Amino acid sequence: MSVHMPTTVDEAVALLADNPGARLLSGGTDTMVEVNFNHLKPETVIGLRRVESLRDYRVSSERIEIGAGVPYSRMETGPLADALPALAAAARTVGSPQIRAAGTLGGNLGTCSPAGDGLPVLAALDADVNLRSPRGLRSVPFAEFMVGVKRNSRLADEIIESVSIVPTRGYQDYAKVGVRNAMVISVASVCFVHDRNTASVRIALGAVGPTIIRAREAESWLTGQVDAAATLPNDENIASEFARRVAAEARPIDDHRSTSAYRRHAIQTLARRLYIRSTK
Amino acid sequence: MKNTPSSTRTRNRGVLGTSALRPDGVAKTQGNFAFSSDFQAENMLWGATLRSPHPHARIVSIDPSEAWKISGVEAIIFADDVPGKATYGLIASDQPVFARDVVRYMGEPIAAVAADHPETCRRAIAAIKVVYEGLPVLSDMDAAIDPATPAIHPDGNVFRHQRIVSGNPDVMGDVVVEGTYDIGMQDQAFLGLEAALAYPDPGGAGVELVVATQWLHEDRKQIADCLDLAPEKVRLVLGGVGGAFGAREDISLQVHTCLLALRTGRPVKVQYGREESFFGHVHRHPGRIHLRHHADRAGKLVKVEGWMKLDGGAYASTSSAVLINGITHLQGPYACDNSRLDAWATRTNNPPCGAMRGFGVVQACFAHEGQMDKLAAALGLSPVEIRLRNAMKTGDKLFTGQVVDSVAPVARCIRETDAIPLPADAQYGTGSLELPGGSGRTSDPSHIRRGIGWGVSIKNLMYSEGFDDSAEARCTLVDGVATLKFATAEVGQGFVVLAQQIARTVLGVDTVVLDTIDTQIGSAGSTSASRQTWMSGGAVDGACRLVRERLFEHVAHLHNLDPLQLVIEGTEIVDTLGPLRMPVAEASKGLRIEQTFLHRHRPTEELDENGQGNCHVAFAFVAHRAVVDVDTELGLVKVVQIATAQDVGQVLNPLALLGQIEGGIAQGLGLAVMEEIVVDRGVVRNPSFTDYLLPTTLDAPDVVAIPIEEYEPLAPLGAKGVGEPPCISVTPAIVAAIRNATGRDIVRTPVRPQDICLPS
Ligand SMILES: Cc1cc2nc3c(=O)[nH]c(=O)nc-3n(C[C@H](O)[C@H](O)[C@H](O)COP(=O)(O)OP(=O)(O)OC[C@H]3O[C@@H](n4cnc5c(N)ncnc54)[C@H](O)[C@@H]3O)c2cc1C
């Protein structure tokens, strides 16, 4: 096995072009599990840890850009947490302190598990995923990036450089159900984003379908009922009907972690609760 | 030193009754302790095991030719390569070292490989071609009991059936409550994975095995039988053990490792990963229990009737003993004369089940405590009141006819637990990690309901049913330094510090050296059944007392005294009738006194066909009160507090006791709300810590523990075993608290979110 440690994105892109099939390594918290289970035997590894630019983020009033190598621990507090409270909430649910210190958003996107906690936030924030290749930079909306269970539209020679998010104005939050109070894989999760700038409410569901699901019909039903340019009304009826519609768009399955009936119920409960939290 | 009053000196010497620190504590916390997986040998090979992916299949053919082509492969062995007995087992020898014609559970070993590197082993294992022909999977206990079901093993599909009938089984109570209870399959989930290193003797005349186990001598017996060697040709040394909880009582990798070493003539190390560990050891029996409790109008129990079914999986392990423990504890810690009970342990194609902390009593307790709450509700009594009215006392007779002659402070355990203050009302902010749902931030304080629940239990101590149980220890005193030798497996419970405390107390020495724990002395029996403090503690105490007698005789002879007038005070020998006072170190200068002691408990009997007989040695009791917060809509639980008072006889080491109590509570909490091996028609669905969930610190409750100290005259040190009781009634207490918070009749454990919030 050969290991390369580039220090710039361009260098990393060139190495990937020269070594087709090389494994990109960020925090390693998914990759090492694959290695451990013997599902993966990488011949060439390109470590991204020394690429400083990937480990940076920038927050401005027009645009938030988060490098693929930013670990969860840096999303939990600080300027990024202030700008994106839903991302901070999602980051706090990830694994243990050790995992949050190592694991990155780029890795979450690379793996693209429906249970990945960063992904519903990117979906609800309409984030763009920025991919770098020898051909240059390509931006893909998150909804087009994740295409299936652990499948994404990244091309073999592309490196995930960053995600870009247009800041919103209004309440945003993330909640996740697991069968343990910490360090647990999501059984169902919801990211709720209210943006008064665009008069929209966006809700994304994790672990209840092959991809992250945006409950778009429920979103548009809601914006037809309320003035999303203002604070949302604290109305239990609206919250309940919205939640019912959100849950109807989930596509959960039965597996050893939970049942589809419970997952749908959890989505409905979380959608209602997050709506009500947003009105307070 | 000589003039220091002994009272101030004893305080820091780590004698009995103090929180003496473990000799291995610092090394363990600093990461320097050698666990069995840390051992290496020069010229060592690695071993690995090929396992069946199917729960039940015929082996049509095995072709290792591709594996042999891999460079670095030194040995590949199968059933035919086992020179001695083809099977092993703790009670019935029915488990093949390697499957030959048929595999009966997912993960059953078929072959083992030795090679120069773990990766070579993995490739070789993958290259062995096995052709299977699937067989119907027997996974249901009722089908196993049904005589019409084809036997999946020559010994049949029922390991054991036992009945208990006592008093007047036809009597009826004024109030009758009934319930059926399900218990999921729990894993011991020790953190130190299975590992062993075998060194072959020249010419293959014998073998030495360094292994993490609970019982060196029993392992040796089974290994020697399979290797066709005399037991003394098989020497076992305890490797550092990172937890056991019953999972190391059965053979796992022992025979395979020795066989590979003998075959290759080189040291061989085998070490399981977490996934293999789930397949490599037995689990706690899942089961179903149906009980009908009869009581009079005052709430006094009149009769208990019903049945218990425990699924032992593919091989016998200790199923028949677990079953007896289960059925004889269905009574709970309550006085009652009349019973009619049946119990079955079944053989299926599910993972083999055997010993785990609580050994059948955990399952029984979950059911009888559910019943006590039903009785309380039917009679309008509180959970505390119904239990106090029925609390067993010393002198009460069990359903088996055995009289409880242990100290039995059941009512006191309940009262003292009840007197522990309840935690303050929840004052959570939104998003608090302390809310149910924890870091997932699912719940707001308005969604939470608090519940309180009770569990009380009785647990037998030591082995039962006529088992000839003993423990041996040797004490050598030289120049004021005591050296102790025993084969007691230290699995984390702290016997190593207890042994030192005993020697310091009895002999007045400060330095106690512990010899290697191995088979170079007689058996200490298993580190299980809450028995080592009593058994090996008794042996160490006995050996030290014999040494002290010799020392007193020596001193008395020199000073013309009667040895009977000498005592140990602190670190000195003192003449109670005269002025003599001399340090033990000085008195023993130039001497070497060595004594060996074999401790036995009183004999027990087998049960007759009506379940009558003095089958248990002694009993311990404990009460638990759980306070939980439940998000009733999402079905998420946070256990807030466990209050407990435990009957311990004597506290020998307060810190070690608290460790057992807190650890046991965490394990019982796991069974209550998250720990379960999910098995679907014999296939294990979650063999990893990603999906087999153990409690984290955020799940662990505050524990308020009170030891109930009533000296147990039956026990050598007046102390009862304390290892198992903490994990037994905490599970029903938590589930009762969830019932209390939700108003739902939850009948299975672990309780899943959907059991709380969705229609059943
Ligand atoms: C104990 C434990 C607990 C966990 N808990 C959670 C949890 O609660 N929630 C959760 O969502 N996840 C969890 N995970 C999974 C994991 O931590 C996350 O998915 C994390 O985001 C992965 O990031 P990483 O940097 O470690 O990824 P890596 O393992 O380094 O990479 C993962 C994948 O992404 C690819 N990749 C990485 N960076 C790039 C890049 N810049 N461009 C292109 N491809 C790239 C890699 O090639 C690889 O395929 C847990 C993992 C463990 C071991």
- The ranges of chain A annotated as CATH 3.30.390.50 are 172-278
Confidence bin at B113 (pLDDT 50/70/90):
very high
Single-letter residue type at A185: I
Confidence bin at B127 (pLDDT 50/70/90):
very high
Residue from the list A38, A89, A255 with its beta carbon closest to the beta carbon of B122: A38
- The ranges of chain A annotated as CATH 3.30.465.10 are 2-111+127-165
Closest CA to A116 of A206, A28, A202: A206
Q: How many residues does chain A have?
A: 280
CA distance B224 to B210: 15
| For range A194-220, the mean pLDDT | 98
Task: For chain B, report the end-to-end CA distance as a whole number of angstroms.
Answer: 71
Q: Which residues of B touch A175 (CB under 8 A)?
A: 437, 440-442
Tell me the two tokens of residue B232. Answer: 């003394």
Tell me: pLDDT of B521 over 90.
yes
CB contact burial B371-398 (16+ within 10 A = b; e otherwise): bbbbbbebbebebbebbbbbbbeeebeb
**Is A177 in the B-facing interface, judged by CB distances under 8 Å?**
yes
Tell me: pLDDT of B378 over 80.
yes
Please report, rounded to a whole number, the percentage of residues in chain B having pLDDT higher than 90: 96
Contacts of B361 (CB under 8 A, 6+ apart): B325, B326, B329, B457, B458, B459, B460, B724, B728
CA distance B467 to B617: 10
Q: Determine the pLDDT at residue B4.
A: 41
Please report, rounded to a whole number, the percentage of residues in chain A having pLDDT higher than 90: 97
Fold agreement (B418-458+618-760, B470-600) = yes
Q: Determine the pLDDT at residue B584.
A: 97
Residue from the list B273, B690, B696 with its beta carbon closest to the beta carbon of A182: B696
Domain range A172-278, CATH architecture: 2-Layer Sandwich (3.30)
Tell me: pLDDT of B2 over 60.
no
| For range B26-33, the mean pLDDT | 96
Helix (H, G, I), strand (E, B) or coil at A123: helix
CA-A111 nearest atom, ligand 1: 33
8 A C-beta contact, residue B440 and residue A178? yes
| For range B663-668, the mean pLDDT | 98
What is the residue-wise DSSP string for B600-612?
EPPP-----TTS-
Look at strands B95-96 and B283-284 and give their pairing: unpaired
Tell me: pLDDT of B7 over 50.
no
What is the enclosing helix (H) or strand (E) of A136? strand A136-141
The domains of chain B are located at 418-458+618-760, 470-600
CA distance B340 to B305: 5
Provide the number of CB pairs (under 8 Å) joining chain A to chain B: 101
Q: Which residues of B touch A259 (CB under 8 A)?
A: 754
Look at strands A188-195 and A200-206 and give their pairing: antiparallel
Q: Determine the pLDDT at residue A134.
A: 98
Single-letter residue type at B61: S
Please tell me the pTM assigned to this model: 0.97
Q: With CB atoms and an 8 Å threshold, state whether B441 touches A89.
A: yes
By C-alpha distance, the chain A residue nearest B435 is: A181
Residue from the list B439, B636, B638 with its beta carbon closest to the beta carbon of A92: B439
pLDDT tens per residue, range A227-238: 999 999 999 999
Helix (H, G, I), strand (E, B) or coil at B80: helix
Q: Which residues of A touch B127 (CB under 8 A)?
A: none
Confidence bin at A38 (pLDDT 50/70/90):
confident
**Is A37 in the B-facing interface, judged by CB distances under 8 Å?**
yes
| For range B325-337, the mean pLDDT | 98
Q: With CB atoms and an 8 Å threshold, state whether A273 touches B447.
A: yes
8 A C-beta contact, residue B56 and residue B104? yes
Q: With CB atoms and an 8 Å threshold, state whether B440 touches A176.
A: yes
pLDDT tens per residue, range B678-696: 999 999 999 999 999 999 9
Mean pLDDT across chain B, nearest whole number? Answer: 96
pLDDT tens per residue, range B568-611: 999 999 999 999 999 999 999 999 999 999 999 999 999 999 99
Query: Cα–Cα distances in Å, from A236 out to A191, B323, B632?
Result: 19, 53, 18
| For range B208-228, the mean pLDDT | 98
Answer yes or no: is the C-beta of A30 below 6 A from any ligand 1 atom: yes
Q: How many CB atoms lie within 10 A of CB B429?
A: 9
Confidence bin at B52 (pLDDT 50/70/90):
very high
CA distance B233 to B519: 11
Residue from the list A181, A265, A273 with its beta carbon closest to the beta carbon of B438: A181
Look at strands A188-195 and A172-177 and give their pairing: antiparallel
Please report, rounded to a whole number, the percentage of residues in chain B having pLDDT higher than 70: 98
Å from CA of A60 to ligand 1 middle: 27
Confidence bin at B759 (pLDDT 50/70/90):
very high
DSSP state of B312: -
Instruction: Kindly provide the ipTM of the predicted complex, given to two decimals.
Output: 0.96
Tell me: pLDDT of B347 over 50.
yes
Domain range A2-111+127-165, CATH architecture: 2-Layer Sandwich (3.30)
CA distance B458 to B329: 7
Q: Determine the pLDDT at residue B8.
A: 42
Closest CA to B192 of B532, B529, B491: B491
**Is A21 in the B-facing interface, judged by CB distances under 8 Å?**
no
| CATH code of domain B418-458+618-760 | 3.30.365.10
Answer yes or no: is the C-beta of A23 below 6 A from any ligand 1 atom: yes
Q: Which residues of B touch A179 (CB under 8 A)?
A: 673-674, 693, 752-753
Q: Determine the pLDDT at residue B10.
A: 44
Topology, domain B470-600 = Aldehyde Oxidoreductase; domain 4 (3.30.365)
pLDDT tens per residue, range B632-656: 999 999 999 999 999 999 999 999 9
